[in-house]
C-alpha cells in the first residue's frame, strides 16, 4: 500500500504518535521523512509540552575520537559495560546493543533536525567524555524538533491525551481521545512513565508516595499503562521501583527539574525529623549519591530529612535556587525545623567529638567510634550561623512499562505482539533499564528508539 505524502485525515493517519517529548518527536519526524502521514498527540497544553525533556541537558553517545561536542573517546564496549554495571545485567541484550550502536549517529541527526549542541570549547559547562550537552538545554531542543516536525507536515495536537486503546486480536483498531475515535494504520506509544500518578504510586509505596516530589511533567500518568494488562498486553519492570533523588522539600510538586537537587551532603550531617543521623554522609561522593539519598528518604518519617551545615560548610557549598534556612544558634534552628532540640544537640555533640583529623585537608577527616560513621570530610559543625536544607525524595520516573520485541513492537502476554503498535522512550525503557541510571541515558533512549520506532511504523504502514 502506497503511503500518502500529504496529510491524511487526522482521524486516520498512517502513524499516530502518542506523546510529546523527545521519543515522540523523533518518532514523528522519522515516520514523516519515510513518507507517512503523522498525527502527534500531546496531552499537555502547548506551554507545557515536551514531558521531562524540558528539564534535560545532555545525552550519552558513543564516539571513537574527539569531536566538537565530546572530549576524548567513548567506545561501544565502554558504554555497554557502564549499562551492565548500572542495571546489574538485567537489561535486554538486543535492545542494549541497538541503543549503544545507534547512539553514535545522534549528534548528526539532531543537528540536521535543527538542534544545536554545546561545543566543548565554550567553557560554559565542564567538558564531558561520555555525554553531549544541548545548547540551551532541553527546551531549546524541543522547540527545534517541534518546528522541524511542523515544517515536515506532522499534525500536532495539544490537550489531546489518549484515554483508551481498542484492540482486535493482534491489531490496534482504535485510539480514543475523550469521545473522539481515531483509526490509525499504526501507532507509537511515547507517553512516558507514571511518576505523576499519585494513585499508581500509592499502590506500591503506600502512604510514603504522598511525600514524593515530582521533578518533571505533571502529565506523566498511568492511564494507558494501567489498562494494558486487561487487554492482554505484557508489562515489564517493577511497579514498585522508581528513580528517586534527594531534592529540596520546598519545591512545588511538579516541574522543578535538576535545580531541585540537593548536592552537598558530604559538607555536613543529615538528620531525620527526630534529630538522628542514619547514614554516612560521605559514604558515596559520586553522582550515584543523589539516588541513594532519594531511596533513603523514602523510608524516613514524613519522607523528610535535613542537611545541617554551619557557616564554614556554607562557604564551600554550591549555590542553590532556594537559600538555606538560617539561625544564629542551634536551638533556634531546631525550632525552625520543628526538631527536638535536645536530640539534635546530642547528635551534633557526638559527631563533633568523634572527629579525627588525619591532615590539613578536610577530605582526610573522619569519625571514630561513631555509628553511623562519617568516613571522610568530617568537618566540625560549630561556627554560627547554622543552616539547614529540608529534603524529600524527588521522583524522576518509574521503572515499569510495556514489553517490546527487538523491532519495538508491543508484546502480548501470550508471547505474540501487536502488529501495528510500537513503543519508544520511557514507556519501554524498563526493557533495557529495569534499574539504575547513567547520566544522559534517558535522552539517548528517547532519540534512538523514537527514530527506530518511527521508521518501523512507517514501514509497516507501507506494507
Domain range list for the chain: 15-241+398-462, 263-319+329-383
- The CATH homologous superfamily to which domain 15-241+398-462 belongs is FAD/NAD(P)-binding domain (3.50.50.60)
pLDDT score recorded for residue 122: 83
Q: Residue 9's pLDDT band (boundaries 50, 70, 90)?
A: low
Q: According to the 3-state scheme, what is the secondary structure of 53-96?
A: HHHCCEEECCECCCCCCCCCCECHHHHHHHHHHHHCCCCCHHHH
CB-facing half-sphere around the CA of 244: CA atoms within 13 A: 24
User: Which three cell numbers mark 258?
Assistant: 535538576
6 has a pLDDT exceeding 70 = no
4 has a pLDDT exceeding 70 = no
Q: Residue 5's pLDDT band (boundaries 50, 70, 90)?
A: very low
> In 10 A of CB 353, how many CB atoms?
12
**Mean pLDDT on 284-291:** 77
Percent of the chain past pLDDT 70, that is, above it, reads 98
Gap between the Cα atoms of 202 and 398, Å rounded:
13
CATH of 263-319+329-383, one of 3.90.700.10, 3.40.50.620, 3.40.190.10, 2.130.10.10: 3.90.700.10
**Mean pLDDT on 148-161:** 97
CA distance readout (Å), 345 to 35, 246, 354, 373: 69, 24, 14, 17
Strands 305-309 and 409-411: unpaired
- Contact between 193 and 216 under an 8 Å Cβ cutoff? The reply is no
**DSSP category for residue 462:** H
- Relative orientation angle of helices 76-87 and 93-103, to the nearest 10 degrees: 140
**Four-CA torsion 146, 151, 155, 161, nearest 10 degrees:** 0
Q: Bridge partners of 186?
A: 15
Q: Bridge partners of 233?
A: 412
Gap between the Cα atoms of 420 and 167, Å rounded:
10
290 has a pLDDT exceeding 90 = no
The mean pLDDT value of the chain amounts to 93
- Contact between 313 and 332 under an 8 Å Cβ cutoff? The reply is no
Q: Tell me the per-residue pLDDT of 12-34, one tens digit each, with 9 for 90 and over.
A: 999 999 999 999 999 999 999 99
- Pick the more confident residue, 463 or 237: 237
**Mean pLDDT on 360-375:** 91
Amino acid at each position: 500500500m502506497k503511503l500518502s505524502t500529504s496529510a491524511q485525515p487526522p482521524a486516520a493517519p498512517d502513524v499516530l504518535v502518542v506523546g510529546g517529548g523527545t521519543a515522540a518527536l523523533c518518532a514523528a519526524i522519522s515516520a514523516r521523512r519515510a513518507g507517512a502521514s503523522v498525527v502527534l498527540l500531546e496531552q499537555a497544553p502547548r506551554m507545557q509540552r515536551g514531558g521531562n525533556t524540558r528539564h534535560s541537558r545532555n545525552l550519552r553517545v558513543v564516539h571513537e575520537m574527539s569531536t566538537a561536542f565530546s572530549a576524548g573517546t567513548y567506545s561501544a564496549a565502554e558504554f555497554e559495560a557502564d549499562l551492565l554495571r548500572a542495571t546489574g545485567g538485567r537489561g535486554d541484550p538486543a535492545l542494549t546493543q541497538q541503543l549503544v550502536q545507534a547512539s553514535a549517529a545522534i549528534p548528526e541527526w539532531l543537528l540536521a533536525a535543527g538542534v544545536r549542541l554545546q561545543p566543548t570549547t565554550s567553557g560554559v559547562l565542564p567538558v564531558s567524555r561520555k555525554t553531549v550537552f544541548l545548547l540551551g538545554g532541553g527546551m531549546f531542543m524541543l522547540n527545534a524538533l517541534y518546528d522541524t516536525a511542523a515544517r515536515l507536515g506532522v499534525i500536532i495536537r495539544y490537550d489531546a491525551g489518549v484515554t483508551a486503546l481498542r484492540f482486535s486480536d493482534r491489531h490496534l483498531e482504535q485510539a480514543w481521545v475523550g469521545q473522539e475515535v481515531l483509526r490509525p494504520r499504526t501507532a507509537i506509544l511515547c507517553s512516558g512513565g507514571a511518576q505523576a500518578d499519585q494513585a499508581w504510586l500509592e499502590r506500591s509505596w503506600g502512604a510514603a508516595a504522598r511525600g514524593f516530589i515530582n521533578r518533571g511533567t505533571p502529565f506523566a500518568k498511568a492511564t494507558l499503562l494501567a489498562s494494558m494488562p486487561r487487554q492482554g498486553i505484557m508489562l515489564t519492570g517493577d511497579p514498585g521501583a522508581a528513580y528517586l533523588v534527594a531534592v529540596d522539600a520546598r519545591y512545588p510538586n511538579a516541574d522543578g527539574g535538576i535545580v531541585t537537587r540537593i548536592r552537598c551532603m558530604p559538607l555536613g550531617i543529615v538528620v531525620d525529623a527526630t534529630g538522628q543521623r542514619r547514614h554516612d554522609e560521605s559514604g558515596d561522593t559520586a553522582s550515584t549519591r543523589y539516588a541513594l539519598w532519594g531511596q533513603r528518604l523514602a523510608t524516613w518519617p514524613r519522607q523528610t530529612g535535613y542537611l545541617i551545615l554551619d557557616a564554614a560548610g556554607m562557604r564551600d557549598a554550591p549555590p542553590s535556587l532556594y537559600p538555606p534556612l538560617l539561625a544564629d544558634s542551634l536551638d533556634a534552628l531546631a525550632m525552625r525545623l520543628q526538631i527536638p532540640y535536645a536530640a539534635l544537640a546530642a547528635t551534633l555533640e557526638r559527631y563533633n567529638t568523634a572527629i579525627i583529623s588525619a591532615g590539613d585537608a578536610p577530605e582526610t577527616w573522619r569519625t571514630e567510634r561513631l555509628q553511623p560513621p562519617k568516613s571522610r570530610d568530617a568537618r566540625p559543625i560549630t561556627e554560627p550561623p547554622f543552616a539547614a536544607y529540608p529534603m524529600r525524595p524527588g521522583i524522576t520516573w518509574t521503572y515499569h512499562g510495556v514489553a517490546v520485541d527487538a523491532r519495538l513492537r508491543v508484546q502480548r502476554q501470550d508471547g505474540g505482539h501487536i502488529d501495528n503498535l510500537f513503543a519508544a522512550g520511557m514507556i519501554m525503557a524498563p526493557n533495557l533499564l529495569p534499574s539504575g541510571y547513567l547520566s544522559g541515558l534517558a535522552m539517548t533512549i528517547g532519540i534512538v528508539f523514537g527514530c527506530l520506532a518511527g521508521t518501523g511504523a512507517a514501514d509497516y504502514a507501507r506494507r
